[in-house]
Structure 1
Amino acid sequence: MTTAERPLSATVDRLLTQLEEGLPEGEVPASIFGNSELYDAELRKIFGRCWVFLAHESEVAAHGDYTVRKIGEDNFIVSRDEEGEIHVLFDACRHRGVQVCRSDSGNSSHFRCPYHGWTYSSDGALVGAPLWKNAFGGMDKSKNGLTKAAQVRSFHGLIFATLDPSAPPLEEYLGGMAWYLDLIFGLDKDGLEILGAPQRFVVDANWKSGSDNFSGDDYHLGTLHRSVWSIGAFPVPFSENMMGYHVQAAKGHSLSFSMAEDANEPGPNFFGFPEDLAEQFDTSRISEEQLEIARRARVFVGNVFPNFSILALPMSEDGANHAPTGVLTIRTWQPKGPGQIEIWNWFLAYKNMTAEQKDRAYRAGLGTFSVGGSFEMDDTEPWITVARTGSSVAAEVLDFSLNYQMGMPGVGIASKVDDWPGPGIAYWTRYEEGVQRNLYQYYAEMMRAKPGEWPENTL
């Protein structure tokens, strides 16, 4: 019996039952943010099966380029071979399991294990070892290459991989979320590129807090990020910014738009990107409905289950001297235990932006959404205490649950939208937490799913 086939422990089963029974009432058990047994099951049930974002193609643009990334807590080499094909390779020598890639990124035609010298090409094939004839003559090299992820797929330059051969194709897994990713990554035929290396910083929080926040927690903006408005970093007042839509795009995948209800209301539009850039967008690859949403949108924030988040919005690191400009950041919430994550944060720009526009966007992003940015310093403090509460004896003994009722019938002003042009279930306004409930509903279904079985991702 494999670890994936083993029954869930009594503790994990109890927590999942509490989650499943509580969600219809808008309740989530606090202990899912800190329980160690649950976390061990997540590594296998969630990260061992789901599609996980690893890198952008611009990070491995040339033949021989590679970078080391993670699925769950495990290292994988994302490489482009000499034929231009992208591979995702488990970073473990087939001889003794030693890590073969010792740099975070670089360019090389081969990876060589430091222990016994087994050498692999950039596509993972075993090509040789010292004194091969004496040591391994007659052994089949083709059966001893680096182990590859079960499936690898690139979507608009975003490289995803899954360890589960039974996983549905990436486009099917994304479901309606792919339609919304087109609004960002499909706006222009030339695509996007990464600006600089990804930032990495460790926070004593649970990975689900980041996914929860970027699924559409807009309510915290007026309190936790109040200073952002006072320094002019964002051009829209808080109450107006809450006007917009929450969308459950598919099971597990959620997003939020800050958007004027009236299409004739002045901007910022196109997420705050410069007007002269927006005028050059080749939007032939998206529909009129997608284009209209992108044109009207001030903010896009979303999460692809389990831990890949996207944010596009107009920001400034210094509102007194620089007007807000469009910033696009993507990030992953890398698990490092039940109470710790490593945040990986990238900034992107459209390739046809001028050098000055790219620099302006990068600086605006660094001042707001980075290890030293104003938003980051705000967000991480509450998440730390969420994890602390989640691992507490009191939360366990008291069956302490968290309130996720905003937007449920009779609670708040949000209401379901019947004429939303895109896929999924949409609500107006952003005073709503159905996007988070969608995250945890799919989470519970994946944790319960048996090997080879996948929950339906349509709503």
Structure 2
Amino acid sequence: MATEDRDACPHDEGEQPSVGAGNFEISDRAEQIIQRHGEALKDGRLPAKVYNDEEIHQAELRRIFGQNWVFIGHETEIPEPGDYSQRYIGKDPFIFVRGEDDEIRVLFDSCTHHGSKLCRAEQGNSSHFRCPYHGWTFKNTGDLAGIPLKHQAFDNLDPSEWGMSAAPRVENYKGMVFASLAEDGPSLEEYLGDFKWYLDIHLDIAKGGMEVIGEPHRWRADSDWKSGSDNFSADSYHTGVAHRSVFEVGFGSEEISGTAGQETQRHVTHIDSGSTSLRLLKPEDEIYFGYPKEYVDTSKLSDAQADVAAACGAATATVFPNLSFIHLAATNDPDKDLDGFLSLRQWQPAGPGEMEAWSWVLAPAAASDEYKQRAYDVALGTFSPSGNFEQDDFAVWDGIADAAGSVYAEQSNFEMNYQMGLEQASSASIDEDFQGPGVAWDTNLEEGTCRTFHGNWHKAMSGEDVGMSYPEDHL
């Protein structure tokens, strides 16, 4: 971590570094940025520096990714014993694997001998992981199974004490696997809280549930990971500007996609670890995100959830810290009908002002192979590294990180405006009749959803629990 010289040298008598969540020491400067962030957010302002700063990045890895539940993958990616994929929590490498005992684990990708990474392939199927350095071999359950020349070199070593390390906590919510590096804390269900009401709509709407189609797309970008989480929290204000060319050539419906000012949209926040945007059309249309009726099953949903699903053409959401999703009816060809797909997004921190984006495509498990391929193709043409919508977002997000990393932004304490929806800024009002949990606005001309994300960021960076409660003064 880059620090000032005074932090690299012995402290003067009486001077102590700041200590925050997880006993991770950071500089007074970083603590001041975090404190200023919390104070400014109450007025709908945001210090730009948090989007590109080495000390803030290092603190995020420990205070956010080292403490909270982080999405690892979907169980349908590793359906058979021995199936595995490389995954990350923050920047830490893990192996997402289904063991021979059919249990899903999240194993730390490091040999317990001299620490080399064990997994050299992005994904595959294997009964064992063998270290390329000295040959120590581990079962896919993490147990140490073989040591070259053991009786000469390690005759007294107990293999049961030197198995692979694992994420302290791993939990599965309806096929979605999360892990936490913190030994203690709220359970995953407690962490998700009321947001489960919305998450269930997306996971339970299809016959047979949802399954991952193909491999996740991955690409690097000169953008901060928070830009993705912020945007998918429900930034509809950008849709008619950044994505204007998509509508002009007929690749999207403005009514479904939710350009600014439409009364069909609801922004919902104050729901523990997440916030969401729902594009609600006429219920009698029964659009169900564009899925053919034969693939829809609402038997697991409440009447209120089923009503939302029937009227919803598209939705975006973010679960803190870096899991987002978009569920919508779209097309990759103006001459073809709209078809539905669910895309899970993960914004992986790669450095200050840098990230690696991951994108999974999901479709109803009971759908035909033909429909699954169609859903995949539509996702590829809209929200993928080469997708029409995706390219628009990344074309502007890098400018945020570039400006945030400037000397001027730091010296002037440059702040961005996040006031839309606050009383002093706009006329957005709360929809008291909305049946779901949280606070719902009657228009997408508000930024309470984005303030929800940044409020949780501030809580996590201040050492407070995320996903249990949320102060109304940030709404």
Q: How would you bin the TM-score normalised by the shorter chain?
A: over 0.9
Structure-1 separation of matches of 2:377 and 2:261: 26
In the other structure, the counterpart of 1:229 is 247
Determine helix, strand or coil for the equivalent of 1:219: coil
- 2:316–2:327 Cα contact (<8 Å) kept: yes
Structure-1 separation of matches of 2:219 and 2:31: 32
In the other structure, the counterpart of 2:268 is 247
Question: Does structure 1 residue 430 correspond to structure 2 residue 444?
Answer: yes
Query: Which of 359, 381, 397 in structure 2 is aligned with 1:383?
Result: 397
Structure 1 residues 128-137 or 409-418, which shifts more? 409-418
Query: Which of 63, 80, 83 in structure 2 is aligned with 1:45?
Result: 63
Query: Which of 209, 213, 233 in structure 2 is aligned with 1:191?
Result: 209
Determine helix, strand or coil for the equivalent of 2:86: strand
Structure-2 separation of matches of 1:191 and 1:154: 14
Question: Does structure 1 residue 286 correspond to structure 2 residue 301?
Answer: yes
In the other structure, the counterpart of 2:38 is 20
Q: 1:440 to 1:239 in 2, by over 3 A?
A: closer
In the other structure, the counterpart of 2:321 is 306
In the other structure, the counterpart of 1:364 is 378
Give 4+ residue runs of structure 1 displaced > 6 Å after superposition: none
How does the TM-score come out when normalised to structure 1? 0.94
> Residues 295-344 of structure 1, C-alpha deviation per residue, up to 9 Å, x if partnerless?
1111110001000011011111111x211211211110011001111111
Structure-1 separation of matches of 2:260 and 2:395: 24
In the other structure, the counterpart of 1:352 is 366
Query: What displacement does 1:249 show?
Result: 4.8
Structure-2 separation of matches of 1:129 and 1:456: 44
Query: Which of 283, 291, 316 in structure 1 is aligned with 2:331?
Result: 316
> Residues 364-410 of structure 1, C-alpha deviation per residue, up to 9 Å, x if partnerless?
11111111111111100111010011111010011100000001114
In the other structure, the counterpart of 2:145 is 127
> Residues 73-125 of structure 1, C-alpha deviation per residue, up to 9 Å, x if partnerless?
11100111111000000000011110011111000000010111111100111
Structure-2 separation of matches of 1:6 and 1:163: 14
Determine helix, strand or coil for the equivalent of 1:175: helix
Q: 1:303 to 1:128 in 2, by over 3 A?
A: same
Structure-1 separation of matches of 2:307 and 2:162: 52
- 2:192–2:273 Cα contact (<8 Å) kept: no
Structure 1 residues 180-189 or 84-93, which shifts more? 180-189
Query: What displacement does 1:7 show?
Result: 3.9
Determine helix, strand or coil for the equivalent of 1:430: coil
Q: 1:239 to 1:309 in 2, by over 3 A?
A: closer
Structure-2 separation of matches of 1:348 and 1:287: 23
Query: Which of 119, 129, 145 in structure 2 is aligned with 1:101?
Result: 119
> Residues 20-49 of structure 1, C-alpha deviation per residue, up to 9 Å, x if partnerless?
111111000000000110110000000111
Structure 1 residues 75-84 or 235-244, which shifts more? 235-244
Query: Which of 149, 159, 164 in structure 1 is aligned with 2:167?
Result: 149
> Residues 146-205 of structure 1, C-alpha deviation per residue, up to 9 Å, x if partnerless?
110011111121111011011211010011111111001012351111111111111100
- 1:233–1:324 Cα contact (<8 Å) kept: no
Structure-2 separation of matches of 1:53 and 1:307: 8
Structure-1 separation of matches of 2:104 and 2:273: 27
Give the AA of the match of 2:76. Answer: S
Q: 1:413 to 1:273 in 2, by over 3 A?
A: farther
Residue ranges of structure 1 left out of the alignment (5+ in a row): none
Query: What displacement does 1:250 show?
Result: 2.4
- 1:248–1:425 Cα contact (<8 Å) kept: yes
What are the equivalent positions in structure 2 for 1:438-457 lying under 5 Å apart? 438-449=452-463, 454-455=465-466, 457=468
- 2:65–2:90 Cα contact (<8 Å) kept: yes
> Residues 276-312 of structure 1, C-alpha deviation per residue, up to 9 Å, x if partnerless?
433xx1x222211111111111111000100001101
Determine helix, strand or coil for the equivalent of 2:183: coil
- 1:231–1:318 Cα contact (<8 Å) kept: no
Structure-2 separation of matches of 1:56 and 1:21: 37
Query: What displacement does 1:60 show?
Result: 0.6
Structure-1 separation of matches of 2:20 and 2:465: 18
In the other structure, the counterpart of 1:84 is 102
Aligned length in residues: 449
Give the AA of the match of 1:458. Answer: S
Structure-2 separation of matches of 1:144 and 1:212: 41
Give the AA of the match of 1:391. Answer: G
Sequence identity (%): 41
Residue ranges of structure 2 left out of the alignment (5+ in a row): 1-18, 471-475
Structure-2 separation of matches of 1:149 and 1:2: 22
Structure 1 residues 92-101 or 11-20, which shifts more? 11-20
In the other structure, the counterpart of 2:78 is 60
Structure-2 separation of matches of 1:96 and 1:250: 44
Query: Which of 352, 355, 361 in structure 2 is aligned with 1:338?
Result: 352
In the other structure, the counterpart of 2:11 is none
Structure-1 separation of matches of 2:381 and 2:206: 26
Question: Does structure 1 residue 170 correspond to structure 2 residue 184?
Answer: no
Determine helix, strand or coil for the equivalent of 1:333: strand
Determine helix, strand or coil for the equivalent of 1:83: coil
